[in-house]
Chains A and B, each alone.
Chain A
Amino acid sequence: MTKISKLSARPLMDPWRDAFVLRLRLLDTRGAVIGDALAQVDSHCAETGEKPDAAFGDPDEYARTVAAALPATARVVPPSPWNTAALAAGTMLGVLGVLSGTAALADGSPGTLSWGSLASLACMVAVAATLPAALEQLIERRWPLTVAITAALAVCAALPALWRHEALRAPGTVLLGCGAVLLLATWLPPLAGRLRPDRIVDPRSGLEPFTVPPWIRWVGWLPATVLVAAILLIALLPTPH
């Protein structure tokens, strides 16, 4: 069985079905189409009494065979690396502006951005833009790539402290305003419709064929929650002098 079948210690369904679904996802197959293929596996196994691996072989190989037989309409168009980079850049620059602006207003002094912060931001944008394309590799070679990404993020975190030269100085309100506008401009269009979840649905029941842990549904709110918490902390805690 393939490495991706061992992805989760606690499978959502069973290792074979999880691996099958994951591979179809990685091949950009639509959720409804995955649900249909999965229902077909379930239906066949129920009729024959066979196990999925006996009837369909390796989940990874079978998913590739299914995906190759599907029409182009069964696939979602993956975002281009440029779109991902733009989204990451808008988000990170916006967050940087909002946090620097808030800190400046709390401190009563002009806000500044260092070259280190901007270099760190560029580095993080590069990592974020690479991630979707490297997702498959990340799953199959988890440890080497996790170490590489962690190292890249550590460099990102260290850059502002290592390179403190001032790159930009502006009033706190300007930084805060620009950051907020950038965040809204970056996230309003996707939130207005482009980020609808492509759920896997069993065509027989209209329901998801597995139970998603409740905490997963809240993960999407985590970045916004962390940002608000950071703003509150900066605004409310006394600034050290």
Chain B
Amino acid sequence: MAEHVILVVGPMGAGKTTAIATMSDIETVKTEAVNTERNVVDKATTTVALDYGEISLGPSEKIRLYGVPGQKRFDFMWQILKARAVGMLVLVKNDAQDPKADLLRFFEEFKEIHDRGGVVVGVTHSDVQPFPSTIDYQRLLAEHYPGAVAPVFTIDPRNRDQLVTMLSVLAASVDSRAMFSGR
């Protein structure tokens, strides 16, 4: 069975759980609990371990989607998962206090996935707060990581077509990276 592990990361409230439920072929495995940090994000529950979903590409090939908890205290899980991941979707909540810092934090933490596979950034809540724009985020990444050309798209995590675009771009990035590196 060929498997492709794709991580969905981002700060609390960015829409990781919803995005996985929108993409997954199976009933997603959700592990949520009461949010003890309502001063940070006003939602009743948050992911405490992992969200899990799957997309079947055929009888012997599937994509495993792992939603990784956003809080720093769970970073021991990030280390385990990122070693297996071929790609990553980073969700950034545009109406958060400092969404640019959130993006840099997750990009830095998981940069090795960008270097060997594909990373796509999805900006959520841009209907509420249109700035920073996708171009602002790409400029930010270019300033901190010269040579890294990461896709940044506005998305609604409930919109399947938009998530199909994100996944397609991630897959094309993985394929083209492999083509250029001769893998």
A-B complex is real: no
Interface residues of B (CB under 8 A from A): none
